[in-house]
Amino acid sequence: MAATFTVGNSEAHTHVHRNNIKATQGGTVYTDLSYLLNESLFDRFYLSTIPQTGAFNPTADLILPNTRNRLVANADGSFASAADLRNSPTAFAQSAASIAIEGGFNVNSTSVNAWRMLLASYLGESVLAADGSASHSLQNSALTSKLYPLLPEGAAVDPSAPEAWSAVRSLTANEIDLLAEAIVEEVKRRGPFLSLADFVNRRLVGNSTTVEGDYLGLKGTLQAAIDKLSILGQGVLNEAYYQGGLAALALNYPDGVPVNSIYPEHETGMPGGLGGSRMFGVPGFLTQGDLLSALAPILTVRGDTFTIRAYGESLSGISGNVESKVWCEAVVQRVADPVAVGDSVVAPSGDFGRSFRILSIRWLNEADVI
């Protein structure tokens, strides 16, 4: 698995103890490539998708290859020049200062409804299979890395069918609801996440005395949520791939003890006593990497848009009783422009840093607050 599905997935390496990313077994050095690639790509690279060649006119209406990336104007209403945004020493910093993510999602959210809306964001979208038909039912949400399926998805998950190897994997409304709940439980267990790689990668922890503790070191946040749901007997997600001869049976060896240089729990991908699946990675088997292929461009670990509420009251000068109350609500957004004129947009050094813009303000009734 690690050699083929490295980016986005985070399964413990079969030859490396889960509290580490590198080990030597029998004179051979093994490295957890998934962990290192995720750490590098998700935290150290920025993909603006600004075209580096051809005609390019920076405006608010420009649609970039990543359609969630939108160019934003400077404080004076002007846009950065094409020369500053590409093929120049300033392009990395200037493009980051000139682009905002439309509908960015904070992975530290513990709102089931928010995660449900994110997972359902591809409802009604599909691609064409090789035979020209829709890739899946438009009643489902396809969060997948397989953009060019040979066959349309079947009506039910069937590991023995050709679709298991040649179709996309979509989520039903029920699976979206259950997965949103499971993800929130993992976020509460593992968060707060300080970076996207922190969210994507497994934890570098030793063996635990509990199944929940073992999940932390065996797999990333989303995969743990997927796998836990798949073995509950509810007939959802990947459950069909854990049945019969498809199961990677749990091996009864002590936790953390390699057998023939291989850690049994890492080989099955599940905590001791729980069987894994031999079908991990086939197109019909939903993985964390599949979800991230669709969702990663809008994920973040922090927000720059805030809702602020204020309250005031007037007291009687005689009785001290409250005579009137008032509530207001403002939505403010931090932008790249520094407060101090002429300060660096890359690393502002002024006392007040970057600017905040008031996007909206409204008065509230007491019923809106309580």
Model pLDDT for residues 14-32, shown as the tens digit of each residue:
889 889 999 988 888 999 9
Enumerate the H helices of the chain as residue ranges. Answer: 33-44, 82-85, 91-98, 112-119, 163-166, 173-190, 196-200, 211-218, 221-230, 264-268, 288-295, 366-369
pLDDT digits (tens, 9 = 90+) for 121-159: 888 888 888 888 888 888 888 877 667 788 888 888 888
Integer angstrom CA distances of residue 121 from 114, 335, 358: 11, 26, 27
**For helices 173-190 and 221-230, angle between their N-to-C axes, nearest 10 degrees:** 130
User: Once rounded to an integer, what is the mean pLDDT over residues 277-304?
Assistant: 90
User: Once rounded to an integer, what is the mean pLDDT over residues 196-208?
Assistant: 93
Q: What is the reported pLDDT for 2?
A: 56
pLDDT digits (tens, 9 = 90+) for 96-115: 888 888 888 999 999 999 99
User: Once rounded to an integer, what is the mean pLDDT over residues 199-204?
Assistant: 96
Percent of the chain with pLDDT strictly greater than 90: 38
pTM of the model: 0.85
* Selected residue with higher pLDDT from 116 and 143: 116
Question: Average pLDDT, whole number, for the chain?
Answer: 87
Residue with tokens 């998708």: 49
